[in-house]
């Protein structure tokens, strides 16, 4: 193996992805390895793209949004790609903040319902104990 390229297995190991994931990224043309017979080899460009794909997925971007962002580099260069990234990141931050508010509200509602139910359960247990005391006497 050359220093400048990785085999399929090495690519999976380096980025901690399954073979299925790597094949899918190839299928949807996010990656385009060099092929020699049935073997695939990934060059530094593929590694850079994979880092960006995984970073985008971590931050909640769709694969289509990631594809568009990667394509900008190929078509318009680094400055255009970075500008698009900043705009996309701003939009994603707003979405994540909205999701956080929704999650916080849901947690508060669930906690309140859980506390009311626990209180009801406790009260039910006390009333059952009172009935048992009367029946036993």
Q: What is the DSSP string of 26-76?
A: HHTTS---EEETTEEEE-HHHHHHHHHHHHHHHTT--HHHHHHHHHHHHHH
Three-state secondary-structure class, residue 14: helix
pLDDT range class, residue 43, cuts 50, 70, 90: very high
| DSSP run (H or E) holding 7 | strand 6-7
What are the distances in angstroms from CA 69 to CA 25, 58, 82, 83, 102?
A: 15, 15, 9, 10, 28
Is the model's pTM score more than 0.85? no
Q: What is the DSSP pairing of strand 6-7 with strand 34-36?
A: unpaired
pLDDT range class, residue 77, cuts 50, 70, 90: confident
The Cα 7–Cα 37 span in angstroms is 13
Selected residue with higher pLDDT from 122 and 93: 93
From 28-42, 65-79, 109-123, the region with the lowest mean pLDDT: 65-79
The Cα 56–Cα 66 span in angstroms is 6
| DSSP run (H or E) holding 99 | helix 78-136
The Cα 98–Cα 95 span in angstroms is 5
pLDDT tens digits, residue range 84-98? 999 999 999 999 999
Taking residue 22's Cβ as centre, other Cβ atoms within 10 Å add up to 22
pLDDT at 128: 62
CB 72 within 8 A of CB 56: no
């Amino acid at each position: 193996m050359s220093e400048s390229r990785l085999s399929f297995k090495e690519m999976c190991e380096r980025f901690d992805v399954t073979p299925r994931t790597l094949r899918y990224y190839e299928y949807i043309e996010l990656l385009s390895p060099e092929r020699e017979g049935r073997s695939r080899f990934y060059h530094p460009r593929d590694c850079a793209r994979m880092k960006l794909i995984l970073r985008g997925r971590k931050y909640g971007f769709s694969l289509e949004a990631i594809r568009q962002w990667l394509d900008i580099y190929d078509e318009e260069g680094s400055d255009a790609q970075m500008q698009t990234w900043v705009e996309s990141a701003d939009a994603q931050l707003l979405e994540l903040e909205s999701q956080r508010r929704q999650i916080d509200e849901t947690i508060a509602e669930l906690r309140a319902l859980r506390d009311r139910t626990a209180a009801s359960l406790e009260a039910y247990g006390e009333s059952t104990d009172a009935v048992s005391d009367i029946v036993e006497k």
